[in-house]
A and B are shown apart, each in its own frame.
Chain A
Amino acid sequence: MSTPRHRSFAAFTVLALSLCLPAFAADRLVNMTPNSRSGETNQDAEPTIAVDPNDFKRMAGAAFTWDNLTGGPMVTAAAPIFVSTDRGLTWALANVVPSKIGAGFPTGDITLSFSSTPSGASGHKTSWLYGGTLSSATAGRPMTVLRSQDPFSSTLMTTLDTRTGNVDQPHTSAKTSAASQDKLYVGFNNGYGCGAPSGRTSTIDVSQDAAAAAPTLTLDVIEARNTACQDGFAQVAAAHSDGTVYAAFLHDWSSSPRLVVVRDDKWGTGATPFAALTDPSDSVAGRYVTTALTLASGFMGQNRLGASNVSIAVDPGNSDRVYVAWGDSNGANSETIHVRRSVNRGVDWSSDLMTVTGAMNPQVAIDDIGIVGVLYQSVSGGKWETRLARSNNMDATTFATPGTLLAKQSATTPTATYSPYIGDYASLVAAGSNFVGMFCASNYPDKANFMSGVTFQREVDWAAHKLYSDAAHTKVVAPSIDPYFFEINTSICNKTPFFCNICKLKPYLCYPIFDPLWFLKCPMCGIDILVKLEDDSYRQVTVYDSLGKKAGTLKRLSEPVVEKGVSYNYKISLQPKEGLGYVLKAELAAGKKLPGNFTPPVMVKQVER
């Protein structure tokens, strides 16, 4: 039991530590509807969120959000997105997406992604923001690729490309290459309803330099097999900074659907892009991850099923590691979600690592210390539950399920005004070692239904469970579907308790390393861990194994080892055992600070000894 003196010392220690730590955000959940829109009653469904890799304080999100309060035809020619410059604490609507006065919907499906190229905007420091949308500005709602130099100045986004016809579900992913080019991938269904030759509708609109003044975009058909009519509506891409680009889609959606992953190793350049991965059954590009699926159909908790639900993420620390999530039927009016992974660049796939029945909208992301997050929404007891599950072992093969409960709101009220009720997808990305996401749910105000600490920007009386349009709380507003932002921390503790003990004071200075293939490929081999460090930033980097035993320290190489343009200047040689991982624990040199987590470039080589 601690004495008061001890408690004050502890409090002082915590305070001192907190002052020393970088300003990492605490777990948070925020209703994004701004205060000035407190009278809003729209069904804001189908969210997307993007975080500026250069500064996690800068974020942008979008949903089916009207410029008016009642979901009526548009009254302006610009649809709003949500923007935040304080890491999601507060949000404002910025009217930046081209729309049309009188349009029935503000924008069709929309997704956003930041690159990490500073845009050079005069008004605000920001990276380029890209988007894919089904535009309501033009007849026929074409798929348009958009770009904003400064979403925080609320200037209309520029249209980079327009694709007409039966187009659907643009999913946007941007990544900046080492050569400072913005690689942009907007996956979309090009020709649903049997509108594409041989039913090959899975397509990615690609730019190899999207930040250029007038970027070129080319269509890459990533479906290499014929289908009876079309592929699934979602084609999602995940790019790694080494040039590896994965994409996932549901092949032959209308007849015999199977989840397929394709890969390109050079950003999607070359004569036959996205053909690096073939299936052993037919040697055709595109690896089958599943056998034939029965897709979900009907409605669950007022939300339609079967429209999308495919997600993919690549480990930012190792492009060999890739995870997919998808949904299939759980009987009538219900869906089951699944998560699988590959550790050899999509060649082989695990069985299900996570399965949740009665759930949909799975979104998978991997943070910069290799922890995997899975966001999903399930119906249980007549309520929509939105949860984030995080991996909890070295190999990220097990998950702490059912996961952190973000919201638990009625699935029957308010009544849907259109489809989808909450969205054909939710949104999850990694921001350093945290997960940042966006989902949609009822805004009925009851703190018991939300993660602790939830905040509403709109006028609310939590005790009376009422929303108001005015600050005086005289005009009651009916509950509706609102977008929510959340940020959930992870740390080395999500890997193993031993690492947690070793790194408990400064978890952000610990970087875990593990690959099951070290042992599986060659049990007798050793490994060399090569690391690139800025010489003057660190006093020492100590290596511990996942049982908590010190394995040694990184030693400076007399000659750096250069691989793929990276010059590794430190090394440690180790003899791994089955299931054993390592953590690099850094000690900073005097006066040095890190802008974020300790995530040095690392390469592991197997060595026969």
Chain B
Amino acid sequence: MKNIWRPRGPVSRRLLIAAAAVSALLASGRAPGQDDDAAALTERSAIVVRAKVVKANASNEPMVAASPGTAVIRITKMYAGSEIAGDQTGKTATVILSRPGSLKAGQEATFFGNPRFMGKTLTIADEGEIASRDAASRAAPSIERHVQARRDKPVVERLASATLVFRGVVETVRPLAAADAATGESKPYPTRPSEHDPDWQVATVKVVKPLRGEAGPVVTVVFPASRDIVWFNVPKLRQGQDSIFITHALSPEEAARHRASGLVAFMDKQPAHVIIEPSDVLPPGDEARVRGLLSAPKEVK
């Protein structure tokens, strides 16, 4: 197999992603190590495409000078990356090769990389290429699994630091200020809040199925209701919502930052957990996915 690949990135990062990748393999019943190269490349690559080299030593992007390290390709299949610039199948793109001069016009390869420029056309900075037809064919089925492993990365990270993981149904939602009033605490803000004010809301969530940690029958969850740029992609809870919850404690830094909002005082008075990242709430259909991810890191460690 002619595989143009060099490992990059810190060990800890690779380990974490390897955990996600292995978890995907375990979930599929495959043994790890069978397609490690493609896995490692996919882990580092937001874009994975099969393509034919239209012109070597060429570039479609004005800011990338044509050189032996660049080539113009025509994409025949997209494994990953359509979120970035849409489906590029049939379109040309410029690639900055991981090894200059490694591909010739007419040659087919699977390209693993990240977006470098998005101008009139896409320019991909390659992490690596698998040029051999046989190797690419062997790797193809596993690439999709590793693409999923990359998508799982944020969830894996949140699972690693979670206090509780459970499936539950939201019973009530109320503003933190109202919750404070219920506990006799004065209104937290002495003045009007910041533009990035989280607008904390308190939800009570009935636990349907614990997945990790010892959750009682009902868990108090605090979440930001703000539509500010910083918070709007964090899931907003509503009464009756059935979801997978990946809850967290406040880190010391977060506690310091949100002290003035009354959140810390609230959490000091009663057991409560926060959700503050997009991956902290997932649809109920992701239960099997989360179970698989929960089991994998422990086995790797």
Contact = CB atoms under 8 A, between A and B. Distances in A.
B154 A105 contact: no
B194 A140 contact: no
A85 B64 CA distance: 12
A418 B115 contact: no
Interface in B114-128: 114-123, 125
A233 B194 CA distance: 8
Contacts of A80: 115, 118
Contacts of A228: 190-191
Contacts of B125: 154
Given A37-B118, A254-B191, A418-B228, A105 B233 contact: yes
Interface stretch (B136-144, B250-258, B292-300): B250-258
B261 interface: yes
Given A168-B194, A233-B195, A102 B117 contact: no
A145 interface: no
Nearest to A46: B229
Interface stretch (B23-31, B80-88, B99-107, B208-216): B80-88
Contacts of B118: 34, 36-37, 80, 92-93, 95
B190 A194 contact: yes
B230 interface: yes
Interface in B232-257: 232-234, 251, 253-254, 256-257
A104 B193 contact: no
A417 interface: yes
B288 interface: no
A383 B200 CA distance: 32
Contacts of A35: 119-121
A22 interface: no
B231 interface: yes
Interface in B189-232: 189-196, 226-232
B260 to A, nearest CB: 4
B63 interface: yes
A76 B114 contact: yes
B26 to A, nearest CB: 22
A90 B86 contact: no
B263 to A, nearest CB: 11
Most A CB contacts (10 A, CB to CB) among B153, B193, B227 go to B227
Contacts of B62: 85-86, 90, 92
A38 B118 CA distance: 11
Interface residues on A, range: 35 or more
Given A36-B122, A70-B83, A92 B196 contact: no
A71 to B, nearest CB: 8
A364 interface: no
Nearest to B152: A102
A307 B195 contact: yes
A80 B116 CA distance: 9
B284 interface: no
A220 B63 CA distance: 38
A605 interface: no
Nearest to B62: A85
B157 interface: yes
A495 B125 CA distance: 49
A64 B125 CA distance: 23
Interface string A537-566: 000000000000000000000000000000
B194 A192 contact: yes
A387 interface: no
Q: Of B114, B115, B227, which is in contact with the most chain A CB atoms at under 10 Å from its CB?
A: B115
Contact of A102 (B121, B257, B278): B278
Contact of A304 (B85, B195, B232): B195
B63 A73 contact: no
Interface in A124-173: 124, 134, 139-141, 152-154, 164-166, 168
B119 A90 contact: yes
A140 B256 CA distance: 10
B277 interface: yes
B61 interface: yes
Nearest to B196: A168
Nearest to A45: B229
B279 A91 contact: no
B46 interface: yes
Contacts of B153: 101-102
Nearest to B82: A69
Task: Give the interface size bracket for B toward A.
Answer: 35 or more
B46 A75 contact: yes
A498 to B, nearest CB: 44
Given A68-B84, A101-B153, A192-B194, A94 B228 contact: no
A229 B85 CA distance: 44
Contacts of B228: 418-419
B196 A229 contact: no
Contacts of A362: none
Contacts of A102: 153-155, 157, 277-279
The residue in B61, B115, B196, B278 that gathers the most chain A C-beta atoms within 10 A of its C-beta is: B196
A445 interface: no
B19 to A, nearest CB: 15
A83 interface: yes
Contact of B63 (A92, A255, A470): A92
A437 B120 CA distance: 22
Interface in B44-72: 46, 61-63, 65
A193 interface: yes
B63 A72 contact: no
Contacts of A255: 191
Contacts of B189: 193
A348 B162 CA distance: 57
Contacts of B196: 168
A99 to B, nearest CB: 12
A132 B193 CA distance: 23
A419 B253 contact: no
Given A101-B153, A104-B231, A72 B119 contact: no
A93 B119 CA distance: 6
A194 B125 CA distance: 45
Contacts of A86: 62
Given A38-B86, A307-B195, A104 B230 contact: yes
A48 interface: no
Nearest to A33: B118
A355 to B, nearest CB: 24
A36 B189 CA distance: 46
Contacts of B150: 101
Interface in B23-45: none
B253 A164 contact: yes
A539 B250 CA distance: 72
Most chain B CB atoms below 10 A, which of A83, A92, A101, A308:
A92
26 contacts: A36-B85, A36-B86, A68-B83, A68-B84, A72-B233, A75-B46, A76-B84, A76-B115, A78-B114, A85-B62, A92-B61, A92-B118, A93-B117, A93-B118, A94-B116, A95-B117, A102-B279, A103-B278, A154-B63, A154-B117, A164-B253, A192-B194, A233-B194, A254-B190, A416-B227, A417-B232
Closest 8 CB pairs of A and B: A102-B154, A92-B119, A104-B233, A254-B191, A418-B232, A307-B195, A93-B118, A39-B86
Given A102-B153, A102-B155, A254-B190, 10 more contacts: A35-B119, A39-B86, A68-B83, A94-B116, A95-B117, A103-B278, A140-B253, A166-B260, A254-B191, A417-B232
